[in-house]
Amino acid sequence: MAKPLPYYEVHGDNGPYLLLVHGMLSGRSQWLENIDALKQFCRPVILELWGHGRSASPESSELYRHSAYIEFFEHIRKELGIDAWFVCGQSFGATLTFRYVATCPERIKGHIFTNSVSAFGGVDSSAENQHRIDAQADLIVAHGRSILEQMPIHPKHAKRLRPATQNALLRDADSLNPLGIANMLRHIADASVTDILSQVTVPNLLVCGTREKTFEQGRKIAEERIARLDIVTADVGHAVNIQAADVFNKAVIAFIHQHEK
């Protein structure tokens, strides 16, 4: 039996393809502030992670592994008939896209990412912390969305978002599947990509929200270890593609134009 695929949708009908991978407790609404601008110059491919939005929540933990997502990205690329494309990881999504570009560089024209504490070693990978994560995952399965709503990254706690965008994110949050989120969470302790950054040879763009102090160390690591890296900053927090949409959109479009050939 063929493996199930996460939900994805394609916008626009001209230009190179751009895979957009959101973070935890988000969904396709993560990109509401970006799609109209981006699709004038490229074809955004919005993917929703397991347990989010219109994607299923498989019971098999194997499907939540980083290697499985690389297979999914490659399957989607082939299904769309793309030789090579751009990819973008937002927050936790960057933990997946970094591994993808390190594994399949010949299929990547360029890589874009935003603030991602999990990708840059901001999560304790000790056995003790894994035990705490597993306990939280068990609570999510047992008690459902009430536990998800207590997490600081839930969109109900977001600040400085346009009401229409926050409402759309909250609607996405209403469709979160506790089983899928719990299975995803169990893999977050090994999310760091710092040990593979030297293998990332494609052009990279970091669009960085400078108000998120917990990402300052991650930015330094990116600057030190990624060979081909451009950085564009905005005076906002974690959700830079929403909070500074104009900055993000212009930076991404310029990056695509530069590396499309």
pLDDT at position 1, please?
A: 46
pLDDT at position 11, please?
A: 97
Superfamily per CATH, domain 8-124+191-259: Alpha/Beta hydrolase fold, catalytic domain (3.40.50.1820)
Cα separation of 99 and 103, whole Å? 6
Q: What is the largest CA-CA distance in the chain?
A: 51
- At a CB cut-off of 8 Å and minimum separation 6, what does 254 contact? none
Cα separation of 202 and 116, whole Å? 19
How far, rounded to the nearest angstrom, does the alpha carbon of residue 53 sit from its chain's CA centroid?
14
* DSSP β-bridge partners for residue 165: none
Percent of the chain with pLDDT over 70: 98
pLDDT beneath 70, residues of the chain = 1-2, 122-123
pLDDT tens-digit series, residues 177-216: 999 999 999 888 778 899 999 999 999 999 999 999 999 9
Global pTM reads 0.95
Q: Is 24 helix (H, G, I), strand (E, B) or coil?
A: coil
pLDDT at position 131, please?
A: 86
Cα separation of 74 and 102, whole Å? 13
| Residue with tokens 């068990």, as numbered in its chain | 138
DSSP for 179-213, written as a single string: HHHHHHHTTGGG---GGGGGG--S-EEEEEETT-G
pLDDT tens-digit series, residues 62-79: 899 999 999 999 999 999
